[in-house]
Amino acid sequence: MKEQDPLRTLLREWEAPEAPPALDVRVRDAYRATVQPPWWRRMWSFRVSIPVPVLAAALLLAMVGVWLQTRSGPPVRPAAAPPGYVTRLESAGFQPLPEGATRVIRAGEVKQ
């Protein structure tokens, strides 16, 4: 095998031809057609085309909604309590009940 082979010298001089630019596109498209990425990877690359006027209107509505939620309005008056219930608690003179017993005292009742 140490003898000069004319094909070996010809092979050393040979250069591969340049690949056409469309070959990369065809190979990439064929690969994508056969292999799909997992669903979680497709979720991160998901695209939705929204026209600019629709996006601008949605942003404007969101800003108006935030403004309506955060603006200060007239003070809200609490509703009147139904008769018979005490709605104020004064802690002056507060004494805990023995053994943690609980009693409900209605308005107008006399303490015993």
The structural domain count of the chain equals 1
**Is residue 49 domain-resident?**
yes
- Mean pLDDT, rounded, for 67-83: 76
pLDDT at 75: 72
**Is residue 96 domain-resident?**
no
- pTM for the whole thing? 0.29
User: Radius of gyration of the chain from Cα atoms?
Assistant: 42
- Mean pLDDT, rounded, for 92-101: 72
Which of 13-22, 38-47, 82-91 comes out lowest in average pLDDT?
82-91
Is pLDDT of 31 > 70? yes
**Is residue 97 domain-resident?**
no
Is pLDDT of 7 > 70? yes
**Is residue 99 domain-resident?**
no
Chain segment 81-92, per-residue pLDDT in tens: 667 666 666 777
State both tokens at 25: 């596109």
Its domain, for residue 34, covers 18-66
- Mean pLDDT, rounded, for 70-79: 76
Torsion sign over Cα 88, 90, 91, 96: negative
State both tokens at 23: 């070959």
**Is residue 77 domain-resident?**
no
